[in-house]
Amino acid sequence: MNLAVLTSGGDSPGMNAAVRAVVRKGLAEKTRVFGFYEGYRGLSENQYGVLDHESVSEIIDRGGTILRTARYQRFLERGTREKAAANLKALDVTALIVIGGNGSMAGAEKLQELGVGTIGVPASIDNDVYGTDFSIGFDTALNTVVDMLSKLRDTASAHERIFIVEVMGRKCGAIALYSGMAGGADHVCLPETPATSELQLSQMSEIVNRRYRVGKTHTIIIIAEGSGSAEEVGRAIHERTKRDVRVSVLGHVQRGGSPSAFDRILASTLASRAVELAIAGESGVMVGLGGGRVTTVPLVDTYTKTVRTDPELAKLASVLS
Ligand code: F6P
Which ligand 1 atom is the nearest neighbour of the CA of 9? 1
Q: Give me the helices (H) in 221-260, please.
A: 230-241
**Together in a domain, 130 and 267:** yes
Residue 215 has what pLDDT? 96
Phi, psi (deg, nearest 5) at residue 98: -105, 120
**Together in a domain, 56 and 166:** no
Residue 261 has what pLDDT? 98
CA of 10 to the centre of ligand 1 (A): 6
- pLDDT, tens digit, for every residue of 133-171? 999 999 999 999 999 999 999 999 999 999 999 999 999
Instruction: Give the closest residue to 91 by CA, choosing from 9, 24, 18, 6.
Output: 6
**Together in a domain, 175 and 290:** no
Residue 24 has what pLDDT? 98
Q: Domain total for the chain?
A: 2
Instruction: Give the closest residue to 28 by CA, choosing from 58, 3, 47.
Output: 3
**Together in a domain, 111 and 223:** no
**Together in a domain, 148 and 127:** no
**Together in a domain, 147 and 218:** yes
State the DSSP string of 160-229.
T-EEEEEES-SS--HHHHHHHHHTT-SEEE-TTS-TTSHHHHHHHHHHHHHHHHTT---EEEEEEGGG--
**Together in a domain, 129 and 238:** no
Query: 98-124 burial, b if ≥16 CB within 10 A, otherwise e?
Result: bbbbbbbbbbbbbbbeeebbbbbbbbb
Residue 164 has what pLDDT? 98
Ligand 1 lined by 101 (C-beta under 6 Å):
yes
The residue nearest atom 3 of ligand 1, judged by CA position, is 10
Residue 308 has what pLDDT? 84
Residue 310 has what pLDDT? 87
Does pTM top 0.75 for this prediction? yes
Separation CA 60–CA 154 (nearest Å): 33
**Together in a domain, 30 and 168:** no
What's 189's domain CATH number?
A: 3.40.50.460
**Together in a domain, 61 and 191:** no
**Together in a domain, 250 and 263:** no
Q: Report yes or no on 161 lying in a domain.
A: yes
What's 16's domain CATH number?
A: 3.40.50.450
Regions of the chain where pLDDT drops below 50: none
**Together in a domain, 245 and 175:** yes
- pLDDT, tens digit, for every residue of 183-195? 999 999 999 989 9
Query: Is the torsion defined by CA of 19, 24, 27, 31 positive or negative?
Result: negative
**Together in a domain, 99 and 177:** no
Could you tell me the residue range of the domain that residue 20 belongs to?
2-137+259-304
State the DSSP string of 32-75.
EEEEESTHHHHHHTT-EEE--TGGGTT-TT--S-TT-----GGG
Residue 309 has what pLDDT? 85
Residue 276 has what pLDDT? 98
Active site residues: 126
